[in-house]
Structure 1
Amino acid sequence: MQLARVVGSLVSTRKSDKLHGMKILVAVPVDMDTFEEKGAPFVTIDAIGAGEGEVVMCVGGSSSRQTEMTEGKPVDNTIVAIIDSVDVLGRRLFDKAGDMRQEAEKPEPQVREEEVVMVEEATVEAHEIPQITEVAETIVVEKPEAVAERDNSFERVRESRRERSKKKNK
């Protein structure tokens, strides 16, 4: 078993039928003394409903297939617990409540106008927005006139793609 912090998620649209419906997360091992991240990120199946930023207990190998959700599935690592606290020799090393307060106190990314980024279509769930802004490091604010210009460009691109698709499907 190992303790790790959930740092992200993984989405796969094509996968083994046995993995359909399973939530796949990315986690990084944590040092038991400092609870700082250490080591390489790894992929794990979430068997209990963990979220980004939480410290979790993971099991690997054949143990990862011992939960109801993972039995008989092609998995090699599974989250089996969300850690609330860790005490060693009478000393509290980790407390989830204190850890979550520290996460909440992190400064928000600064917003600055840089450029208009064209995105044709995207579906983003509400819980993914903080992850996206952290990865992007900047948030783009569009001017109204740029939006109108961009919409015309998108329509031309969409029409061109529709035409190519029609020709390809004939």
Structure 2
Amino acid sequence: MTVRVQTEDFDLTTEVAALRAQNPKVGAVACFVGTVRDLNEGRTVETMELEHYPGMTEKSLEGIVNAARERWPGIDVLIVHRVGKLYPLDQIVLVATTSAHRGHAFASCEFVMDYLKSHAPFWKKERTESGEHWVDARVTDDAALERWGLSSGNAKAQ
């Protein structure tokens, strides 16, 4: 299990190769890379700044990984999440999961990302042409989590 919160960018190829090298039984890798969009809710995004609580954030992400591993025994998970000031096209987050077969790899990757969007303690502030504002949580993020039998009130990432 690997969880990192960092300011520097990550290299997808390097990260996936390192994750795969840990287990010769891996038959499938699923990845999600989230990036900064140039437009959000009709406003042009100039920058996005992500803040977090060091220590607390990593513990929360580790709890998400543990929840995924309980559902899909045998998977491995990598989460790399950036913080600090980012610009459109910059990478924000990498979630990669490995499994013996593709079904568990795809499902666990989506589960981790859905859980992360709803429960990881990150705060986003966007700068647009109209100034700075904090980005609110989206109803669609909670709906995605509900597909897994979880809600904002009962999901626990310890």
- Per the shorter chain, which TM-score range? under 0.3
- Structure ranking higher in strand proportion: 2
Tell me which of the two structures has the higher relative contact order, counting C-alpha pairs closer than 8 angstroms and 6 or more residues apart. Answer: 2
Q: Under a length normalisation based on structure 1, what TM-score does the superposition of the two structures give?
A: 0.22
For normalisation by structure 2, the TM-score amounts to 0.23
